[in-house]
Chains A and B, each alone.
Chain A
Amino acid sequence: MPNEQCLLELRAVSKTFNGVPVLADVDLRVGDGEVITILGPSGSGKSTILRIIGGFTAPSRGRVILGGDDITEVPINQRPFNTVFQDYALFPHMTVAENVGYGLRVRGAARADMAQTVARSLRMVQLDGYGQRYPAQLSGGQRQRVALARAIICQPRLILLDEPLGALDVELRKQMQGFLKDIQREIKTTFLMVTHDQEEAIAMADRICVVSAGKVLQIGRPRDLYYRPGTEFVARFFGENNLLKGLLGAAGNHYRHVEAGWGPIRCAVDGQPEIAGAASGLAAYGAVRPEEVSLHPADARLDAELNRMEGRIEAVSFSGALTSVRVVHTGGACVLQVRLQSRAEGVPIQVGQSVVASWRAEACRVVLA
């Protein structure tokens, strides 16, 4: 949340259900106007975080702060937030227009104003002309948009979305992600969105908050989480990653080495003071993304600054735009996944070939085991 003003803050929020801890000391700062996705495996406590913010569930400990005011005890209907529920929770006995206008009706808005605002909201979610239908007469994507229109019509400070696209098929999901993003840019309202789909999190979020087993593991921009994972869980969570095991070498300001059995791995540590200062000798991984590794003939002369590993190609598999290659260290000590751009004539590599794999220290990070 580097530049924006802080809108909402969770301070050491914990939750236990019947003695079973579900959230442990969750801290979260949500900036005004930003899109945060809460990402984590099933049962990790994502919905619980959202429900605590919405007021549906009271935290066992900790505070919820809105713009400096403690709102932990404020009832649901007095919080300036609106929720888009996973299964939309549209009122089946009301038309689309009545659903969308519900928040205004509750506030006693005049009928004429209401009709106008509802029409505007429906236009915004591209559903003009659908006002007189009932939810049962809509497709999944349309219902989703009604739920969104219903939430934004009250001009909340924060919109909470619990897996808003979870019920949609892949194609529609992609489309709706773009749609949600566009709407958010238009109304500039803060979005806090739960998902367990990493691609969705990356596509939607300004910042991602990774949750696992009731703890926040890391909060940061998608790029940072992808290239500078703070924990092994995060390092493994977003796509494929090479985690090369070793022991942390001597401290350094810009680089540190992870001493693997087959050689040192040079890793950048800028922007990671806790890694730069970590005790040497700790078990650690050098983490490098498959697409950051390049392959060279065994006798190639390489820049001494580069990380390198000599090995043999064990498998090559074509998967469209990219081709995955598995390189095994000559001594068998280490396996490296490499991703190359596919070429029409095929990548110039064959199984059994000896190669040197190399990657830049800047693309390689230390992850403590």
Chain B
Amino acid sequence: MQGGSGLSGRREGADGRRWRALQQALIVATVYGLPVIFVLVPLLTFLVYSFFWVEGGAMHYSLSLQNYLRFFAGEAFFRVFWQTILLCLGVAAMATLVAYPVAYFLTGIKGRMKSTLVMLILVPLLMSYIIKIYALRSILGANGLLNQLLMGLGLIDTPSSFFVFNLNAVMLTQLALLIPFAVLPILLSLERIPRNLLEASTDLGAGGGQTFLWVILPMSLPGVVAAATFVFVLAIGDFLTPQMVGGQAGFTFGRIVYSQFGIAFNWPFGAALSVILMGVIVIAIVVGARYGSSRRGTA
């Protein structure tokens, strides 16, 4: 009896072990498999596609570099590409500049008030992108709040079209949409600065400005770089905002990519442009990671 149960127990044990190993394998397969299927495979598909080509409305499934040659030779594409990079760098820089004081102000606040304010910054992130863009478009538009305000202040006489259906509009809208993404990393890096370093600085005779310039700012730099990288990557991948507020004048690279898939039906060329865009994003992330963590040590 005892031996029997022991034996069956052992057999169950072996089964159990096999079952557990299977479970383990399934988990591993899911954890590593899903990203491969949903991220890596599409990316690779794109990469392969970018070497196919379209002629006379027909797909040619043979490898060729002509999509890339077309991009680098065709001045129009390259100009928009470069303009978009500058635009997104501008958005990243401005978003970071605005976000820093906001984050700095937030670190100075304590308790309930702070969590409320942080929530206020987070809530827009959860809202629909389209709704936010519409809202901003109405603010920037000819009869929008901004124009009303400027006219009310007597700065302009007639509604300005400076803020609508051009790159300015794209920039302002993206700025407004992406600032919350910049606040968070900066806030985190500011909060991570040990209080006693600020005390040490003051103890050594530094005034508030010196402490900020020599201790707080350099120590929050990783957060600043992360914020700028974040915003840049999000801005350059965004085709919806330019589509909706850019109009004819506000043409960006994202829109060109989009049009290759949606309008021109030239998937291979679109794929090649996407690969180029991806390259820019990877470079941005690598540069960001590099400058964001170049500071040594923690003690």
- Contact partner, A136, options B202, B204, B296, Cβ 8 Å: B296
Give the number of chain A interface residues (Cβ < 8 Å). 30
Contact of A92 with B205 at beta-carbon distance under 8 Å, contacts A56-B199, A87-B196 already known: no
Q: Which residue of A has the minimal Cβ distance to B294?
A: A93
Q: Which residue of B has the minimal Cβ distance to A56?
A: B199
B205, A106: Cβ atoms closer than 8 Å? yes
Decide if B275 is an interface residue (CB 8 Å cutoff): no
A137, B296: Cβ atoms closer than 8 Å? yes
A93, B219: Cβ atoms closer than 8 Å? yes
- Contact partner, B203, options A82, A105, A137, Cβ 8 Å: A82
Q: Which residue of B has the minimal Cβ distance to A103?
A: B204
A76, B203: Cβ atoms closer than 8 Å? yes
Q: Which residues of B contact A290 (CB under 8 A)?
A: none
A93, B218: Cβ atoms closer than 8 Å? yes
A77, B200: Cβ atoms closer than 8 Å? no
Q: Which residues of A contact B210 (CB under 8 A)?
A: 106
Q: Among the interface residues A76, A93, A134, which one has the most CB atoms of the partner chain B within 10 A?
A: A93
- In angstroms, how far is the closest chain B Cβ from the Cβ of A75? 8
Decide if B201 is an interface residue (CB 8 Å cutoff): yes
A89, B204: Cβ atoms closer than 8 Å? no
Chain A window 78-99, contacts with chain B (Cβ cutoff 8 Å), 1 for yes, 0 for no: 1001110101111111000000
Decide if B283 is an interface residue (CB 8 Å cutoff): no
Prevailing SS type, chain B contact patch: helix
Q: Among the interface residues B207, B219, B296, B298, which one has the most CB atoms of the partner chain A within 10 A?
A: B296
B203, A83: Cβ atoms closer than 8 Å? yes
- In angstroms, how far is the closest chain B Cβ from the Cβ of A94? 8
Contact of A54 with B203 at beta-carbon distance under 8 Å, contacts A87-B196, A89-B196, A91-B197 already known: yes
Decide if B206 is an interface residue (CB 8 Å cutoff): yes
Decide if A102 is an interface residue (CB 8 Å cutoff): yes
Q: Which residue of A has the minimal Cβ distance to B210?
A: A106
Decide if A107 is an interface residue (CB 8 Å cutoff): yes
Chain A window 156-200, contacts with chain B (Cβ cutoff 8 Å), 1 for yes, 0 for no: 000000000000000000000000000000000000000000000
Decide if B297 is an interface residue (CB 8 Å cutoff): yes
A137, B297: Cβ atoms closer than 8 Å? yes
Contact of A106 with B206 at beta-carbon distance under 8 Å, contacts A91-B197, A91-B215 already known: yes
Contact of A89 with B205 at beta-carbon distance under 8 Å, contacts A106-B210, A134-B296 already known: no
Give the number of chain B interface residues (Cβ < 8 Å). 22
Q: Which residues of A contact B298 (CB under 8 A)?
A: 92, 136
Decide if B114 is an interface residue (CB 8 Å cutoff): no
Q: Which residues of B contact A134 (CB under 8 A)?
A: 296-297
Decide if B108 is an interface residue (CB 8 Å cutoff): no
- Contact partner, B202, options A77, A87, A137, Cβ 8 Å: A77
A90, B299: Cβ atoms closer than 8 Å? yes
A102, B201: Cβ atoms closer than 8 Å? yes
Q: Which residues of B contact A107 (CB under 8 A)?
A: 205
Q: Which residues of B contact A87 (CB under 8 A)?
A: 196
Q: Determine the distance from Cα of A83 to Cα of B203 in the docked complex, in whole angstroms.
A: 7
A residues 28-81 near B (Cβ < 8 Å) are 54, 56, 75-78, 81
Contact of A136 with B297 at beta-carbon distance under 8 Å, contacts A82-B203, A154-B204 already known: yes
- In angstroms, how far is the closest chain B Cβ from the Cβ of A293? 47
A106, B204: Cβ atoms closer than 8 Å? yes
Q: Which residue of B has the minimal Cβ distance to A80?
A: B205
Q: Which residue of B has the minimal Cβ distance to A101?
A: B204
Q: Determine the distance from Cα of A352 to Cα of B67 in the docked complex, in whole angstroms.
A: 103
B296, A85: Cβ atoms closer than 8 Å? no
Q: Which residues of B contact A82 (CB under 8 A)?
A: 203-204
5 new A-B pairs (CB below 8 Å) besides A54-B203, A106-B204, A135-B299?
A77-B207, A83-B203, A102-B214, A105-B214, A154-B204
What 3 pairs across the A-B complex have the smallest Cβ distances?
Answer: A136-B297, A89-B200, A103-B204
